[in-house]
Amino acid sequence: MEFDKPVTGGPCWTELGTDDLEGAKRFYAELFGWRPETDPRQEAGGYTVAHLGDAAVAAVTPLYQESQPVAWNVSFAVTDADATARLVEEAGGTVVVGPMDIFDVGRFSVALDPTGAAFQLWEARAFPGAGLLNAPGALGWVELATRDTGRAGNFYRTVFGWSAESSEWYTEFAVGGRQFGGMADMGDRFPPEVPPHWLPYFAVEDVDATAEAAAAAGGTVRAEPMTVPDGPRIAVLTDPRGAVFGVFRAEEKR
């Protein structure tokens, strides 16, 4: 990711919905050094913000609906959540939640792209999003896995104004000329029941050691550490409840 603070149109926040809030707080604190702080207000529903130093970097939340899977979600910064939600629908996506105010901190919406991948819109007010990006323990890349890269690419370019640079096997997205994420065809690498999805990658100093630590803490290694040709060293992991996330070597371009 080629910026260290949220920019309009780019990823600004990531949050985990889980059925084991306390277990998730322990797991990610051990893995990334996060300091979790749970909002004590009853109406916050247990929303927990993870910090590195004084910087908010991610959130961990209970599951708010029975149908909600244990999974990481990615939010993109917008200046007008309502206008962007309308654009989502005009471009062939679906708005499934909101837009709605979250206290005084911002305006929020959940949407699906035309291929079925969920993502979130965040119109910042008191809370701008992550206070740190692309540093060890923080979000540093987001990746869309989809079964229709052409349709998805057109959608996101329309909604957020992204530019795209594609190779035979991968597309890299940029906003304002700065790369932040990519897109890959799911092909036959995923079982049919796995839906299209956005995957957050967190920067770490040592991918191999992080993978070992995740496994030792009750997670699993979904994709063994590997070095991407002309790219960083990466791995894909799951936490003890099955939420999937990626890690990459922090000092390398991603």
Rounded average pLDDT over 14-36:
97
pLDDT of residue 41: 87
Question: Over the range 190-211, which residues count as b (16 or more CB within 10 Å of their CB) and which as e?
Answer: eeeeebbbbbbbbbbeebeebb
Topology of the domain comprising 139-249: 2,3-Dihydroxybiphenyl 1,2-Dioxygenase; domain 1 (3.10.180)
Rounded average pLDDT over 116-145:
97
pLDDT of residue 254: 44
Who contacts 121 (Cβ-Cβ below 8 Å, separation ≥6)? 75, 76, 78, 81, 84, 85, 88, 98, 99, 108, 109, 110, 111
Measured from the Cβ of residue 104, the count of other Cβ atoms closer than 10 Å reads 8
Topology of the domain comprising 11-124: 2,3-Dihydroxybiphenyl 1,2-Dioxygenase; domain 1 (3.10.180)
pLDDT of residue 252: 54
Look at residue 161 and tell me whether its pLDDT is greater than 80.
yes
Q: In the chain, list all ranges with CATH 3.10.180.10.
A: 11-124, 139-249
Cα–Cα distance, 236 to 137 (Å, whole number): 15
Helix axes 149-160, 81-90, angle to 10 degrees: 150
Rounded average pLDDT over 45-57:
95
Look at residue 230 and tell me whether its pLDDT is greater than 70.
yes
**Cβ–Cβ under 8 Å, residues 51 and 34:** yes
The rounded mean pLDDT for the chain is: 95
**Cβ–Cβ under 8 Å, residues 162 and 147:** no
Give the confidence band of 168 by pLDDT, cuts at 50, 70, 90: confident
Rounded average pLDDT over 94-120:
97
- pLDDT (tens digit, 9 = 90+) per residue, 8-17? 999 999 999 9
- pLDDT (tens digit, 9 = 90+) per residue, 174-194? 999 999 999 999 988 899 999
Helix axes 21-32, 207-216, angle to 10 degrees: 150
Query: Between 222 and 45, whose confidence is greater?
Result: 222
Cα–Cα distance, 195 to 191 (Å, whole number): 9
Measured from the Cβ of residue 115, the count of other Cβ atoms closer than 10 Å reads 21
Cα–Cα distance, 103 to 37 (Å, whole number): 17
Sheet holding 197-204, edge to edge: 163-166, 171-175, 178-185, 139-146, 197-204, 244-249, 233-238, 220-227
Amino acid, res. 199: L
User: Rg for the chain (alpha carbons), in Å?
Assistant: 17
Cα–Cα distance, 73 to 54 (Å, whole number): 22
Look at residue 253 and tell me whether its pLDDT is greater than 50.
no
Cα–Cα distance, 148 to 130 (Å, whole number): 30
pLDDT of residue 67: 84
Calculate what percentage of the chain has a pLDDT beyond 90: 89
- pLDDT (tens digit, 9 = 90+) per residue, 61-91? 999 888 889 999 999 999 999 999 999 999 9
What is the pTM (predicted TM-score) of this model?
A: 0.95
pLDDT of residue 109: 98
